[in-house]
A and B are shown apart, each in its own frame.
Chain A
Amino acid sequence: MEAKIGFRNTKSAIFKGVIVFFAFLITVPLIIILGYIIKQGIFQVNWHFLTNVPAPVGETGGGIANALLGSFIMVMVAAVIAIPIGMAAGIYLSENPKTKLAYYSGLCVDILQGVPSIVVGIVVYFWVVKPLGTFSALSGSLALAIMMLPIVIRSTEQTLRLLPDSLKEAALSLGVPYHRVILKVIVPCGFAGILSGIMLSIARIIGETAPLLFTAFGNPYLSTSLTKPMESLPHLIFTYATSPYDDWHNLAWGASFILLMFVLILNIVTKLLTRKWKVQL
């Protein structure tokens, strides 16, 4: 009997060891990959790198200014499109969970969450690029906005669902109209959760390449026009990483480093802000 228990305990300890091993093993590739990107990319970054466009083939130097500006513009436009729509849909879903529209709309959010980003790119190509006759930053932003929507909607919906009904009732009983109750009480009380959803969706799309392949395409020059092609950080990395030129590889490493830093900083800032601005219920 004793031996049996001893054996079972050993088995349990071994199992725990195996679990811990596999669980922490995952940090190894993470550290290796991040370390390599930082090592290769950090020394590419200097003022020249950030303010110049890529040099033509054969010339050294150049930078990623066009991609930096492009990513910034397209992400901002995508956010401007996706945030109001996403919040409105999220509010509707949390306020009217039992309607038929909520069921089908929620289903579509789930579907949209699973649609591969390349498919979104194809569709927006036919919706915007073909009619306009040119690749454009606008189409890129639209594709990115479509990818942002599910995240913004779900986080808005889930944040607002957690708020107690008594909040709404208090405001309504004071003679506050429904839209002001939502906009001035409910949404501000859920601000931290909604904001974190928005920032996480932005962190997600600044790294997205596939939707931009046939929408924004790419542009070797600085551009602010929404109706012309525009470069972006991930797209530049893709093009230059798969090119045969070492200079371009270096540009891609530097851009990868910058992109990685953006994503990391956004995630960290999101965590800090959510903690700071969370309303004590």
Chain B
Amino acid sequence: MENKRLKLSNEQLKWETIFRRILIAMSILLVLIILGVLATLIVESMPSIKSLGIGFLWGKIWDPVSNVYGAYPFLVGTLLTSFIALIISVPFSYAIAIYLGEYNPKGWLSDLLKNAIELIAAVPSIIYGFWGLFVLVPIIRTFEMSIHVAPYGIGVFTSSLILAVMIIPYGASLGITLIRMVPSHLKEGAYALGATRFEVIRNVIMPYTRSGLFAGVLLSLGRALGETMAVTMLIGNTSAVADTLKNAIFGPGNTMASVIANEFTEADHTQYLSALIELGLVLFFVTVIINLIGKRIITKFTND
């Protein structure tokens, strides 16, 4: 009986070591994946980086037929769609965060709204794009006619609208968490001085959560930058730079993600393909940096 137990323990010691090593290996695998992604992007965009250099970033012409590649149209498209989406979505995210974080954190109505937000986040982007294509585009077309711009229907503006809806849940859920973290003694102190609800929100909660909410904006931005399918279906896929801001917003365009989605399988020569990959590399860096900054701010905020 004793020997059996000892034998078992010896065997178990072996398995313990194997198990610990597997855990370590899987964690290392994660680092390898990221390094692999970065390496692949760099290696495959090398031809383009070498031949076009840094000017790629402000090159205004994207013409695969003549082998001229410039990222500027897509940088513009990406920034325009993301920022317009952000501007539209932020009031909603804030309102939801304040409502669910401060006014009504519990109860059936609050659960209903919470579920609605989760539902918005759960709907796949392809479905947003599909709906947008068939329902939103005609509406925008009519709207554009009424404000006397070219009635494309599709375009940067339409994509931004759908994008705004899609990113609201991210800012909202982060905002809820942050607002709930405001210590009650700060709020109570203000109430005790005779402040109204609005004044407490404006003068206590908002300043306290300011950096965290900014991080929420960054994370929403990161999400918007990487969004592909809905934007691809609604943005019109034009790689030319518009002449005025008005035309840029209400006309067709392309983002880095959408041009890759559209043209990747058509890229038949190395230059073309590697230019697209270089766009992917830029997209990778931009989204990763914005996300990491956002996450760092939040960790700092929650640790204080």
Task: Mark A residues whose CB is within 8 Å of B.
Answer: 5, 8-9, 11-12, 15-16, 18-27, 29-30, 32-34, 36-37, 84-85, 88-89, 91-93, 95, 101-102, 104-105, 107-120, 122-123, 125-127, 146, 149, 153, 175, 177-180, 182, 203, 206-210, 213-214, 234, 237-238, 241-242, 249, 252-253, 256, 259-260, 263-264, 267
Q: Which of B9, B122, B277, B287 has most A Cβ within 10 Å?
A: B122
Q: How far is the CB of A205 from chain B (nearest CB, A)?
A: 10
- Given contacts A12-B197, A16-B198, A30-B116, whether A175 and B41 have CB atoms under 8 Å apart is no
Q: How far is the CB of A213 from chain B (nearest CB, A)?
A: 6
Cα A208 to Cα B126 in complex, Å, equals 8
Can you list 14 pairs linking A and B with CB atoms under 8 Å apart? Answer: A19-B98, A20-B103, A24-B113, A33-B128, A89-B27, A102-B27, A111-B292, A114-B287, A118-B280, A177-B9, A180-B12, A256-B126, A263-B122, A267-B122
Cα A91 to Cα B19 in complex, Å, equals 11
Q: Tell me if B33 and A146 are in contact (CB < 8 A).
A: yes
Q: Tell me if B283 and A116 are in contact (CB < 8 A).
A: yes
Cα A207 to Cα B123 in complex, Å, equals 8
Q: How far is the CB of B272 from chain A (nearest CB, A)?
A: 14
Q: Is B177 an interface residue (CB 8 A)?
A: no
Q: How far is the CB of A122 from chain B (nearest CB, A)?
A: 5
Cα A108 to Cα B34 in complex, Å, equals 6
Q: Tell me if A112 and B34 are in contact (CB < 8 A).
A: yes
Q: Tell me if A115 and B288 are in contact (CB < 8 A).
A: yes
Contacts of A113 in B (CB 8 A): 291
Question: Scoring B residues 1 to 29 as 1 if CB is less than 8 Å from chain A, else 0, what string do you get?
Answer: 00000000100110110111011111111
Q: Tell me if B198 and A11 are in contact (CB < 8 A).
A: yes
Task: Mark B residues whose CB is within 8 Å of A.
Answer: 9, 12-13, 15-16, 18-20, 22-31, 33-34, 36-37, 40-41, 44, 91-92, 94-96, 98-100, 103, 113, 116-120, 122-131, 133-135, 165, 168, 194, 196-199, 201, 222, 225-229, 233, 257, 260-261, 264-265, 277, 280, 283-284, 287-288, 290-292, 295
Q: Tell me if B199 and A8 are in contact (CB < 8 A).
A: yes
Q: Tell me if A91 and B23 are in contact (CB < 8 A).
A: yes
Q: Tell me if A126 and B40 are in contact (CB < 8 A).
A: yes
Q: Tell me if B130 and A256 are in contact (CB < 8 A).
A: yes
Q: How far is the CB of B25 from chain A (nearest CB, A)?
A: 8
Cα A125 to Cα B41 in complex, Å, equals 11
Contacts of B265 in A (CB 8 A): 213-214
Q: Which of A19, A88, A249, A264 has most B Cβ within 10 Å?
A: A19
Contacts of B196 in A (CB 8 A): 8-9, 11-12
Cα A256 to Cα B123 in complex, Å, equals 10
Q: Tell me if A108 and B16 are in contact (CB < 8 A).
A: no
Cα A5 to Cα B196 in complex, Å, equals 9
Contacts of A29 in B (CB 8 A): 165
Q: Tell me if B261 and A213 are in contact (CB < 8 A).
A: yes
Q: Tell me if B98 and A108 are in contact (CB < 8 A).
A: no
Contacts of B128 in A (CB 8 A): 33
Q: Tell me if B9 and A175 are in contact (CB < 8 A).
A: yes
- Given contacts A19-B99, A122-B280, A209-B126, whether A177 and B30 have CB atoms under 8 Å apart is no
Closest 4 CB pairs of A and B: A207-B124, A116-B226, A114-B291, A22-B95
Cα A259 to Cα B113 in complex, Å, equals 23
Cα A115 to Cα B38 in complex, Å, equals 11
CB-nearest residue of chain B relative to A27? B116
**A-B contact sample (10 more), CB < 8 A, given A116-B287, A153-B30, A267-B122:** A26-B92, A26-B96, A36-B131, A37-B130, A108-B34, A179-B19, A209-B228, A213-B265, A259-B124, A264-B119
Q: Which of B117, B130, B194 has a CB less than 8 Å from the CB of A237?
A: B130
Q: Tell me if B26 and A85 are in contact (CB < 8 A).
A: yes
- Given contacts A20-B99, A102-B27, A123-B41, whether A117 and B124 have CB atoms under 8 Å apart is no
Cα A264 to Cα B122 in complex, Å, equals 8
